[in-house]
Amino acid sequence: NAGVTQTPKFQVLKTGQSMTLQCAQDMNHEYMSWYRQDPGMGLRLIHYSVGAGITDQGEVPNGYNVSRSTTEDFPLRLLSAAPSQTSVYFCASTPSWGSSYNEQFFGPGTRLTVL
Amino acid sequence: AQRVTQPEKLLSVFKGAPVELKCNYSYSGSPELFWYVQYSRQRLQLLLRHISRESIKGFTADLNKGETSFHLKKPFAQEEDSAMYYCALKPQGAQKLVFGQGTRLTINP
């Protein structure tokens, strides 16, 4: 299994541009989420999904959209990039929060810079 | 609202010394607590969960509900313990994790 994969690894955008960060998992996990990692602020939840067709907002959803058309994929869209969205983005998945295991498996991250 | 606080952004200790990474949480219910670790050039990964009451790589963490703390401890630090450590809380019934700000641990030779 490849686990959780993210593309691209690095991206530089100009203010106002849009783009999609890709995330895929091959573990048949129900739950997927997107975090951003900023120095001194830890990981903050952007959006999450509890299954195909179901998404919900996390702590910092503004400026981002998500969709979950398949179990495997959970893309994150930046509608109009702003310098404040410069960050490292992590995608994560977990089998189900209903289990006692509750471990999240993380992707390698995408480092995004908005100029 | 739930909150996880890691008061130390940076922690530096010498090899062989004891290490304690502090984690305090604010939550009125019964939380599940975790420590995640990110080694250099590696993915963020689960280190341990309070519910397991296990020791992983020599680390232990005890949930203290009275002090609302979940400090991570190791009696003898090793150089390979240098990493970024995150404390995380799962609120009861919720389908998300709330992370602390992280502590960068450096073990000096």
Give per-residue pLDDT as tens, B16-38. 999 999 999 999 888 889 999 99
Residue A100: per-residue pLDDT: 58
Q: What is the pLDDT of residue A101?
A: 59
Could you give the CA distance from residue B36 to residue B87 in angstroms, rounded to a whole number? Answer: 6
Q: Name the nearest CA neighbour of B22 among B98, B85, B107.
A: B85
Give the pair of three-digit tokens for residue B15.
């090899």
How confident is the model at residue A97, as a pLDDT? 66
Question: Quick one: pLDDT band at residue B54, thresholds 50, 70, 90?
Answer: confident
Chain A interface with B: residues with Cβ < 8 Å: 31, 33, 35, 40-45, 48, 50, 58, 90, 92, 97, 100, 102-104, 106-109
**C-alpha–C-alpha distance, residues B76 and B49, integer Å:** 20
pLDDT value of position A40: 83
pLDDT score recorded for residue A90: 97
* pLDDT over 90 percentage in chain B: 72
Q: B100: nearest CA in chain A?
A: A42
Return the residue of B nearest to A105 by Cα: B45
Q: How many CB pairs under 8 A join A and B?
A: 46
Question: According to the model, what pLDDT value does residue A1 have?
Answer: 74
Taking the C-alpha atoms of residue B66 and residue A83, their distance in angstroms, rounded to an integer, is: 42
Chain B, 5 to 64: residues with Cβ < 8 Å from chain A are: 6, 9, 32, 34, 36, 43-46, 49, 51
Whole-number average pLDDT of chain B: 92
- Give the pLDDT band (50/70/90) at residue B106: very high
Where do the DSSP E strands lie in chain B? 3-5, 10-14, 19-21, 24-26, 32-38, 45-49, 60-61, 72-74, 83-90, 98-99, 103-108
Mean pLDDT for each consecutive 10-residue tract of chain A (115 residues)?
A: 92 96 95 92 92 93 96 96 97 78 87 96
Tens of pLDDT, residues B84-104: 999 999 888 787 889 999 999
Say if the Cβ atoms of B90 and A41 lie within 8 Å.
no
Question: What is d(CA A99, CA A94) in angstroms, rounded to the nearest whole number?
Answer: 10
The minimum CA-CA distance between B97 and chain A, rounded to whole Å, is 8
Q: Which of B95, B96, B101 sits opposite A41 (nearest CB)?
A: B101
CA distances from A59 to A47, B3, B88 (A): 8, 12, 14
Dist CA B99 CA B20 (whole Å): 18
**Residue B96's pLDDT is what?**
84
Across the range B43-71, mean pLDDT stands at 90
